[in-house]
């Protein structure tokens, strides 16, 4: 059986999606990145190997997400694709009529505007992570509950309180203030959901023409409170697809399937054996000019496989020197 | 008296030539780097834009090298730049540097104002000497820009990525070292020839993206995280309307004669914006309207908190001339990986758009 693998290594979670020859999802996996992208990619590959039939033949591998280049070198990716395009492709595969994709992940949030099956505009949060998964996790922890409880409790709200969602720091102090005033937890939780949705629409969604159907993807779409608040705020059809949390990985797998079928090239995939290899990462300051760039490098048995991070490309061009 | 100047792209090279020919005592601070930025950010008032922060960092680094007469452009009617010099002087004084900032007001008196300023700085050198030095500086500026234009064409289609950038870096150094017209001409000829010989993919039809927006962030690659090089790596041909040599030609020589290169842009922007709003806001809108047909997309660069460009950014989505625009706000908080993700997605968008157009 021929299969296509998409790996989405995000800041908070690492996602795997395996598609068969007819682009059906046969396996998917959702792991916490825990700040160890290499180990998580290796662990994920082990799991993928375990779950798939023995005679599996990987026809192509694509990586996406913020660690796409690192992951790409490790697995031998045939395609390294940005997460905006990957999410759009994933959404369009299941919903060809989609006009808007809302994607809220661990630290990134995006909006993608699609017309007639073509991306026409997009936006992504810049320096502020308010309203993303990490912030919700943090608040749930502070209220001594897990994120599933957060999601359930927020739905029980009857009179949500208004919370300043402009900034994570202010949202938090505002939440504490509301707690100390004696507001009910569920009302605070749902108030927070509303604040985050407002923040998202005012920042990432600013000036974007949001038209239905809206496809809501990313890990945060698990949160019922946020889904409800989004529906209320934009007052239009919001679809949460079944595999919303791995849509980026699915998109990447679709793209690599398309590309390898067009080029008829054999996959560069290094095989499942790489799960056992010990990679080493390190960094140094380049002293070639006053920019003093921080160069990160990935090596295996003392041999440098790749380098990143310079303003010029003297290190990228000759990784071995 | 020791003169110091801030950086903007390769402008230090013509300035250096000018000062050398006038036998002035001067320092060129280190080119923009992380330390420049940190200094600028630390000592700038809150909410200031990246051109202010970086030039302040340059001035501090020049003062550290003993400069006591610092040159800054200034003028009225051109955004906050008008009071950069005064504010920066106060910062320098509070840091204990006894330096004076000399404002070069090019916006009002044009060429004459600039030449008079040089005359004062050069301790009354003869007009013949000043004009000769000025001409040589201009010649270097023109050589640099002519080579850069060629580089912009080669970058997206070269077979070995990075070749054009490498040649450009060498050409910049050679231009800096050339000390007469003859060697300068040779540098220009040499490098234009070498660039024309770079092996390229002749069949490629690269996407064409216009770089528009605020003057400084367009011309200082450190402030825009080398957006042009990154687009080149992605196989995109960049068109930039602003070049220092062009700007000098028009603002110093042709504008006073009544020739305004910006009239075209202003006329194009008219249905959406009827007046100058400072900075390059008016021109940015005009570029979008004018180039909606011949470019695949626009990358709009603006300093964070830049009022004119923010106004332009919000007008652009409503023009009927339709072309995708990616706005990048330049600031010390701008991260390279975030920017690359956006550029890659933008290039994908443009590719798909072109493909769809071809089908129709």
Instruction: Compute the average pLDDT of residues A113-132.
Output: 83
Whole-prediction pTM: 0.91
The pLDDT assigned to A317 comes to 59
Residue A88: its H or E element: helix A83-94
CB A213 within 8 A of CB A239: yes
Say whether B337 and A290 touch across the interface (CB within 8 A).
no
Q: What is the mean pLDDT of residues B275-302?
A: 94
Q: Are residues A290 and B30, on separate chains, in Cβ contact within 8 Å?
A: yes
Q: Give the pLDDT mean for B34-44.
A: 95
- The per-residue DSSP string of A165-187 comes to -S-HHHHHHHHHHHHHHT--HHH
Q: Band the pLDDT of A297: cuts 50, 70, 90.
A: confident
Determine the pLDDT at residue B110: 75
Cα dihedral B162, B145, B235, B31 sign: positive
pLDDT score recorded for residue A314: 75
Contact A220, A238 (CB under 8 A): no
Domains in chain A (CATH in brackets) are 2-87+248-276 (3.30.420.40), 96-240 (3.30.420.40), 279-317 (no CATH)
ipTM of the complex as predicted: 0.86
Residues on chain B touching A319 (C-beta within 8 angstroms)? none
Contact B342 A121 (CB under 8 A): no
Quote the pLDDT of residue A128.
65
Upper half-sphere CA count for residue B243 (Cβ side, 13 Å): 19
Q: Give the β-pairing of A79-80 and A100-104.
A: unpaired
Mean pLDDT confidence for A138-150: 88
In angstroms and rounded to an integer, the radius of gyration of the C-alpha atoms of chain A is 21
pLDDT of residue A104: 92
Higher pLDDT, B250 or B226: B226
Q: Do the chains contact at A66 and B33, CB–CB below 8 Å?
A: no
Query: A118, B337: Cβ pair inside 8 Å?
Result: no
Top pLDDT among A257 and A142 is at: A257
When pLDDT is cut at 50, 70 and 90, the band that residue B53 belongs to is very high
Min distance B261 CA to chain A CA atoms (Å): 31
Question: Which of A128-137, A301-310, B54-63, B336-345 has the largest mean confidence?
Answer: B54-63
Q: Which of A126, A132, A248, A255 to mutate to test the interface with B (most CBs of B within 10 A)?
A: A126
User: Which residue in B has a C-alpha nearest to residue A318's C-alpha?
Assistant: B162
Residues of chain A above pLDDT 70, percent: 96
Per-residue model confidence (pLDDT) at position B106: 63
Tokens 């769809």 -> residue = B356
| N-term to C-term CA, chain B | 66
Chain length of chain B: 360
Instruction: Report the pLDDT averaged over residues B262-274.
Output: 94
Confidence of residue A318 (pLDDT cuts 50, 70, 90): low
A320: confidence class by pLDDT, cuts 50, 70, 90: very low
Report whether A61 contacts A78 (CB < 8 A): yes
pLDDT band at residue A5 under the 50/70/90 scheme: very high
* pLDDT of amino acid A321: 42
A128-142, A272-286, B125-139, B199-213: least confidently modelled range: A128-142
From chain B, the residues in CB contact with A205 under 8 A are none
Q: Nearest CA to CA, how far is B90 from chain A (Å)?
A: 27
Find the closest chain B residue to A82 by CA distance: B341
**Which stretch of B38-52, B111-125, B182-196, B270-284 has the lowest confidence by average pLDDT?**
B111-125
C-alpha A271/C-alpha A58 separation (Å) is 8
Task: State how far residue B352 is from chain A, nearest Cα, in angstroms.
Answer: 7
Short-list B72, B66, B71, CA closest to B27: B66
- Which H or E element spans position A225? helix A224-234
d(CA B117, nearest CA chain A) in Å:
31
Mean pLDDT rounded to a whole number for chain B: 92
The average confidence (pLDDT) of chain A is 90
- Does the pLDDT of residue A264 top 90, yes or no? no
- Closest partner residue to B314 among A85, A119, A207, by Cβ? A207
Q: Which residue of B has its CA nearest to A81?
A: B344
Q: Where are the alpha helices (DSSP H) in chain B?
A: 12-21, 34-43, 50-64, 84-94, 106-121, 127-154, 163-177, 181-197, 215-219, 227-233, 244-248, 263-269, 281-291, 307-315, 336-359
- Nearest C-alpha of chain A: how many angstroms from B344? 6
Q: Is the pLDDT of residue A105 over 60?
A: yes
Residue of chain A whose Cα is closest to the Cα of B336: A309
Cα–Cα distance, B80 to B52 (Å, whole number): 9
Asked whether residue A214 carries a pLDDT value surpassing 70, the answer given is: yes
Predicted local distance difference test score (pLDDT) of residue B232: 96
Cα end-to-end span (Å), chain A: 41
**Residues A312, B349: C-beta atoms closer than 8 Å:** no
Q: Which residues of B18-34 are buried (b: 16+ CB within 10 A; e: fewer)?
A: bbebbebebbbbbbbbb
For residue B85, give how far its alpha carbon lies from the nearest alpha carbon of chain A (Å): 26
Q: Is the dihedral of CA B245, B249, B252, B255 positive or negative?
A: negative
| Residue B134 confidence (pLDDT) | 94
Lowest mean pLDDT among A60-74, B16-30, B42-56, B331-345: B331-345
Q: Name every residue whose Cβ is closer than 8 Å to that of residue B217 and which is 6 or more positions away in sequence.
A: B50, B51, B223, B224, B301, B302, B303, B330
**Residue A64, phi then psi, degrees to nearest 5:** -150, 180
What residues of B are in contact with residue A83 (Cβ under 8 Å)? 341
Q: What is the torsion angle, in degrees rounded to the nearest 10, for the CA atoms of residue A44, residue A50, residue A56 and residue A57?
A: 30
Provide mean pLDDT across the span B334-338.
85
Which pLDDT belongs to residue A304? 86
Identity of the residue in B334, B345, B353 whose CB atom sits nearest the CB atom of A85: B345
Tokens of B219: 């011309």
* Alpha-carbon distance A51 to nearest alpha carbon in chain B (angstroms): 32
Chain B residues with CB under 8 Å of A292 CB are 33-34
Nearest to A118 among B337, B341, B356 (CB): B356
Select the residue of B341, B349, B352 nearest A83 (Cβ to Cβ).
Answer: B341
Residues of A contacting chain B (CB within 8 angstroms): 66, 81-85, 116, 118-122, 124, 126-127, 207, 289-292, 309, 311-313, 317
- Residues of B with a Cβ under 8 Å from any A Cβ are 30-31, 33-35, 161-162, 165, 169, 225-226, 314, 317, 324, 329, 333-338, 340-342, 344-346, 348-349, 352-353, 356
* Model pLDDT, residue A265: 86
Q: How far apart are CA A35 and CA A276, in angstroms?
A: 19
- Chain B nearest C-alpha distance from A283 (Å): 17
Give me the pLDDT at residue A319, please: 47
pLDDT tens-digit readout, B71-127: 998 766 567 887 888 899 999 999 999 999 998 876 666 788 888 889 989 988 999
Sorted by sequence, the CB contacts under 8 Å of residue B132 that are 6+ apart come out as B21
Contacts of B344 in chain A (CB under 8 A): 81-82, 84-85
Pick the residue from chain B with its C-alpha nearest to A123: B342
Q: Which one is predicted more confidently, A170 or A17?
A: A17
Using the beta-carbon criterion (under 8 Å), do B349 and A120 form an inter-chain contact?
yes
Model pLDDT for residues A190-207, shown as the tens digit of each residue: 999 998 898 899 888 888
A84, A119, A127 ranked by CB distance to B341: nearest: A84
Contacts of B279 (CB under 8 A, 6+ apart): B78, B79, B81, B214, B215, B306, B307, B308, B309
């Amino acid at each position: 059986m021929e299969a296509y693998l998409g790996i989405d290594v995000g800041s908070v979670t690492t996602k795997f999606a395996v598609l068969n020859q007819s682009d059906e999802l046969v396996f998917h996996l959702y792991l916490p990145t825990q700040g160890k992208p290499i180990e998580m990619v290796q662990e994920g590959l082990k799991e993928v190997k375990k779950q798939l039939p023995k005679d599996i033949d990987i026809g192509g591998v694509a990586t996406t997400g913020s660690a796409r280049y690192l992951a790409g070198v490790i697995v031998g990716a045939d395609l390294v694709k940005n997460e905006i395009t990957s999410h759009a492709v994933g959404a369009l595969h299941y919903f060809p009529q989609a006009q808007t994709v809302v994607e809220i992940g661990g630290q990134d949030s995006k909006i993608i505007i699609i017309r007639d099956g073509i991306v026409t505009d997009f936006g992504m949060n810049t320096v502020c992570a308010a309203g993303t998964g990490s912030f919700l996790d943090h608040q749930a922890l502070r209220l001594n509950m897990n994120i599933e409880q957060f999601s359930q409790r927020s739905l029980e709200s009857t009179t949500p309180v208004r919370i300043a969602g402009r900034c994570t720091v202010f949202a938090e102090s505002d939440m504490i203030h509301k707690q100390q005033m004696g507001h009910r937890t569920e009302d605070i939780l749902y108030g927070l959901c509303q604040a985050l949705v407002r923040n998202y629409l005012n920042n990432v969604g600013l000036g974007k023409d949001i038209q239905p159907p809206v496809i809501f993807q990313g890990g945060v779409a698990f949160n019922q409170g946020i889904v409800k608040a989004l529906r209320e705020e934009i007052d239009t059809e919001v679809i949460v697809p079944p595999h919303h949390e791995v849509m980026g990985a699915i998109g990447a797998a679709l793209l690599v399937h398309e590309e390898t079928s067009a080029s008829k090239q054999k996959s560069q995939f290094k095989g499942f054996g790489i799960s056992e290899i010990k990679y080493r990462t390190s960094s140094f300051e380049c002293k070639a000019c006053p920019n003093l760039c921080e160069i990160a490098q990935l090596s295996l048995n003392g041999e440098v496989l790749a380098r990143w991070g310079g303003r010029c490309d003297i290190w990228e061009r000759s990784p071995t020197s | 008296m020791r003169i110091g100047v801030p950086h903007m792209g390769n402008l230090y090279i013509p300035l250096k030539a000018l000062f050398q020919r006038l036998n002035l005592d001067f320092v060129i601070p280190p080119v923009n780097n992380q330390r420049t930025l940190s200094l600028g950010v630390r000592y700038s008032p809150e909410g200031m834009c990246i051109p202010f922060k970086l030039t302040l960092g340059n001035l501090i680094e020049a003062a550290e090298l003993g400069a006591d007469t610092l040159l800054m452009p200034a003028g009225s009617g051109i955004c906050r730049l008008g009071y950069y010099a005064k504010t920066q002087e106060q910062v320098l004084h509070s840091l204990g540097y006894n330096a004076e900032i000399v404002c070069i007001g090019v916006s009002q008196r044009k060429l004459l104002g600039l030449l008079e300023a040089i005359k004062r700085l050069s301790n009354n050198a003869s007009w013949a000497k000043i004009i000769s030095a000025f001409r040589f500086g201009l010649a270097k500026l023109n050589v640099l820009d002519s080579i850069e234009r060629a580089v912009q064409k080669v970058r997206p289609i070269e077979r070995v990525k990075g070749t054009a950038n490498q040649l450009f870096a060498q050409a910049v150094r050679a231009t800096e070292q050339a000390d007469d017209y003859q060697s300068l001409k040779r540098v220009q000829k040499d490098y234009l020839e070498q660039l024309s010989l770079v092996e390229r993919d002749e069949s490629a039809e690269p996407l064409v993206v216009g770089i528009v927006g605020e003057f400084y962030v367009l011309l200082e690659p450190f402030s825009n995280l080398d957006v042009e090089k990154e687009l080149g790596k992605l196989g995109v041909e960049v068109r930039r309307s602003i070049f220092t040599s062009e700007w000098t030609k028009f603002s110093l020589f042709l504008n006073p004669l009544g020739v305004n290169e910006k009239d075209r842009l202003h006329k194009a922007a008219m249905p959406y914006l009827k007046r100058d709003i400072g900075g390059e806001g008016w021109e940015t809108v005009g570029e979008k309207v004018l180039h909606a047909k011949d470019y695949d997309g626009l990358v709009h660069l603006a300093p964070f908190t830049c009022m004119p460009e923010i106004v332009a950014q919000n007008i652009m989505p409503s023009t009927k001339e339709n072309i995708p625009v990616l706005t990048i706000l330049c600031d010390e908080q701008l991260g390279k990986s975030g920017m690359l993700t956006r550029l890659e997605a933008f290039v994908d968008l443009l590719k798909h758009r072109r493909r769809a157009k071809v089908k129709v």
